[in-house]
Amino acid sequence: MEQPGRVVDERRAGRWMSALIMFILVAGVLSFVWSSKDYWLLPLASTQGLTLDNLFYAILILTAIPFVLVHLFIGLSLWRFPARGTERAAHWHEHLGAELTWTIVPTIAFIVLGIYGEIVWAHIYSAPPANALQVQVVGRQFEWEFRYPGPDGKFGRTAPKFVTSGDPFGMDPSDPENQQNIVTVNEMHVVLNRPVSVRITAIDVIHSFSLPNFRMKQDAVPGRDVSIWFTPNKAGTYQIVCAQLCGVGHYTMRGNITVESQSAFDQWLGSQGH
């Protein structure tokens, strides 16, 4: 209990607490540096991803500065201003200049960052180029189904009434185009440096079509078609992840996406059953 008039010396406690805050600061910064070797943004494989990563690094710098400064300030305050003896604290509690500064400076920083973010956002959700490869995706418990158009680049008609367990797209059997369409399960192939436009939906619950290497993620919502597009620019096979809890088997819901040349793609597509 604090007794009025009792001589209090909190200097030791102040140093301990200051050291603890400084430890958080140092460990917080160093562990981030350490993690950037093995645990960092996944290898990048799309052109859109680059703009997004640049934005990420801008935010990283912008947030690292206040993280360091605030912790330094707190650490220094605790070191410098512990109670000792009967000394009184300062008595001031307003300063218009200071308050305006730390209102206006963050506001400007946030606005600049916001404008930057809006530009990247608009870029990502712009209309896909005309030459984009068209793919349709349906999420279902617990797999991804992909539908590619036939050689003429057209999809057949679909309707909800044709949906069956074997055909989550609901392809109209009377439309000959549908004979040309190709459906695959958990296997998606795209063409290197050719934009791909993906139309995403789900047939049972909400899933999320996530391509972390391409910095793409879009919830697959039943009753709703949403399109995204991106340009894969690095050949290889990457993971397709379901990022939205979709039931007990959620953790098993994954697929592969392969980026390859147009000829390899054509060959793969030709080898798939109709």
What DSSP element (H or E) covers 224?
A: none
- How near is the Cβ of 59 to other proteins at its closest, in Å? 5
CA gap 200, 250 in Å, rounded: 18
- Residue whose pair of structure tokens reads 């999809």 in the numeric block: 155
- How near is the Cβ of 153 to other proteins at its closest, in Å? 26
DSSP state at residue 194: S
CA 114, chain centre distance (Å):
17
- How near is the Cβ of 179 to other proteins at its closest, in Å? 22
Of 252 and 267, which has the nearer Cβ to other proteins? 252
- How near is the Cβ of 56 to other proteins at its closest, in Å? 5
Is the Cβ–Cβ distance between 214 and 50 less than 8 Å? Answer: no
Of 64 and 129, which has the nearer Cβ to other proteins? 64
Dihedral sign of CA atoms 91, 96, 98, 100 in order: positive
Which residue(s) pair with 147 in the sheet?
136, 183
Of 70 and 185, which has the nearer Cβ to other proteins? 70
Of 99 and 153, which has the nearer Cβ to other proteins? 99
DSSP state at residue 192: T
Of 56 and 154, which has the nearer Cβ to other proteins? 56
Of 127 and 271, which has the nearer Cβ to other proteins? 127
Q: How many residues does the chain have?
A: 274
- How near is the Cβ of 274 to other proteins at its closest, in Å? 22
Task: Map residue 199 onto helix, strand or coil.
Answer: strand
Amino acid at 192: L
- How near is the Cβ of 133 to other proteins at its closest, in Å? 20
CA gap 97, 163 in Å, rounded: 66
Tokens of 62: 């912008």
